Copies of this chain bind each other. A is one copy, B any other.
């Protein structure tokens, strides 16, 4: 393509309302344009990227035997009433009434439609398992759409649904889908992790989220540097420290800590590192009263884990200052486990510290040199903290790293939630009617594009992973409209690359090189070739990989080899 036939729609200024980098760059690079809140048009440059992601998804779904269908966007209310979601879904479901006053919705997902199809078409266990998928436009009426296509109302999704006679068959397909999703994101050139997740509102038991790693991600995830273990930080298990607790070396003493009510203040005041200052937090007990939770000063209490303790009220509720004063007689910044008249539950890591510092349960005082089993009883221990970078991986392989992630895919073992509600059954080998077991699997195709940018960009613009770049190579000729030599060389290179099947964009606009380079950096084409008279005089063109600082002078043949284009052709 030439920019004369494939116009760029780049913007110099960052749009005011774009909060995240992918949104800014998608607007600035001319990939999308906003039509209404959370509703975008894909311009030709953006659509090329979207289609590449779509095609990778399609190929991987086909590879594992997925059958592509196309279900309608507009779905009758009756099916949603059968599943119970017409009431449950809330205002995110865009409801619409047709000219005959019948209720429909613009489908945000297709469990009901596919279950209805399958209950009509499939009658025997012999037809199972089945895996249907589609790549289709969905609508969710988000209350606050934002971040461009990252959290849009109308979006392109790959959704898949599998049907099984039993759980074992579901698990088999689920494992293949896990593989297929990994292949999709790997082929897109993205760094990602598959994270075991709570399945949330859709229901069912086991589920995994596929997260593209990016600083701007909404979720913190912990993953092993040696295995494929990954989990949301909130759900990652913190293993008890190995080995025995060090022996006590200090005597317990009560020290005045005037005005020091935080770990940081106490640590500084006493010259003791935060890891040896224990933090005591009081929460509501399961059967009334209060319960003390103790973690290391450098750790954070994990509310999800704590709320699962039998002693603790769920959901977790922290004691108020008044409750603390009434129960202990001091402020929250002076609490400690010694002599506390309530259940005390101590995080494994905190229970492993010797000679620790903690509050004295007396305003303005702390204890130092405290030891479990000597100055207070050996504690009841539990995993009640968030994991931190460097923790051992719960699977016993490697250490944990923590990065933020953007959810781009989600796979669920749904069980019989929809098939039972909607009466989707088959006859098994013995002729008995069996409710189908289901899985469902989604990839936010348009979201993948945004996530790829969040992960791959610099201050100049997008740095596309090669497999999803809108073009692989950009040719930037200097004075294309004034130099016959440049025009000839650029055209010849363009023709050569096109003939070799390389997707190439020749920028034949009559603009200054600075403008051209800025645009090409912004739209993020992986390989840039500058053709100019000076270089041609020396028999070279200038090659630069997007994201690298230095350009290289290369003779045309070496350039072609660099781009993987063989001889001949």
Contacts and interface: CB of A to CB of B under 8 A. Distances in A.
Interface of A: 5-7, 9, 33, 35-36, 39-44, 47, 50, 65, 67-76, 91-92, 94-96, 98-99, 102, 104, 106, 113, 116-117, 120-121, 127, 130, 132, 137, 139, 141, 143, 153-154, 156
Given A99-B91, A121-B33, A72 B40 contact: yes
Given A36-B104, A117-B33, A143-B99, A73 B73 contact: yes
A68 B137 CA distance: 17
Given A96-B106, A121-B9, A73 B139 contact: yes
A72 B143 contact: no
B137 A76 contact: no
Contacts of A104: 36
A19 B526 CA distance: 55
Given A94-B96, A121-B9, A44 B67 contact: yes
B117 A72 contact: no
Contacts of A42: 69-71
Contacts of A43: 69
A35 to B, nearest CB: 5
Contacts of A70: 41-42, 47, 50, 156
Contacts of A5: 65
Contacts of A116: 35
Contacts of A132: 44
6 contacts: A33-B121, A35-B72, A39-B74, A70-B156, A74-B154, A98-B141
B6 A75 contact: no
Contacts of A143: 99
A72 B137 CA distance: 9
4 smallest CB-CB distances across A and B, nearest first, come from A42-B70, A91-B99, A96-B96, A44-B67
A106 B75 CA distance: 13
A526 B174 CA distance: 37
A404 to B, nearest CB: 29
Nearest to A156: B70
A87 to B, nearest CB: 16
Given A98-B94, A106-B96, A143-B99, A113 B71 contact: no
A33 B72 CA distance: 11
Q: Which of A75, A99, A127, A139 has the most CB of B within 10 A?
A: A99
A277 B143 CA distance: 74
Nearest to A142: B99
Contacts of A7: 67, 127, 130
A81 to B, nearest CB: 13
Given A33-B121, A42-B69, 9 more contacts: A7-B67, A35-B71, A36-B102, A41-B70, A41-B113, A44-B67, A73-B139, A91-B99, A137-B137
A35 B120 CA distance: 11
Contacts of A65: 5
Contacts of A68: 44, 47
Nearest to A152: B72
A91 B33 CA distance: 29
Given A67-B44, A98-B94, A99-B91, A72 B120 contact: no
A39 B141 contact: no
A36 B69 CA distance: 17
Contacts of A113: 35, 41
Contacts of A47: 68-70
B106 A74 contact: yes
A556 to B, nearest CB: 28
Q: Which of A5, A73, A75 has the most CB of B within 10 A?
A: A73
Nearest to A50: B70
Nearest to A105: B96
Contacts of A121: 9, 33
B120 A39 contact: no
Q: Which of A47, A50, A74 has the most CB of B within 10 A?
A: A74
Contacts of A50: 70
A141 B72 contact: no
Contacts of A9: 121
Nearest to A43: B69
A154 B72 contact: yes
Contacts of A36: 72, 74-76, 102, 104
A130 B9 CA distance: 13
A47 to B, nearest CB: 5
Nearest to A9: B121
A107 to B, nearest CB: 10
Contacts of A33: 117, 120-121
Contact of A76 (B35, B73, B95, B141): B35
Contacts of A137: 73, 137
Contacts of A102: 36
Contacts of A154: 72-74
A143 B101 CA distance: 12
A39 B72 contact: yes
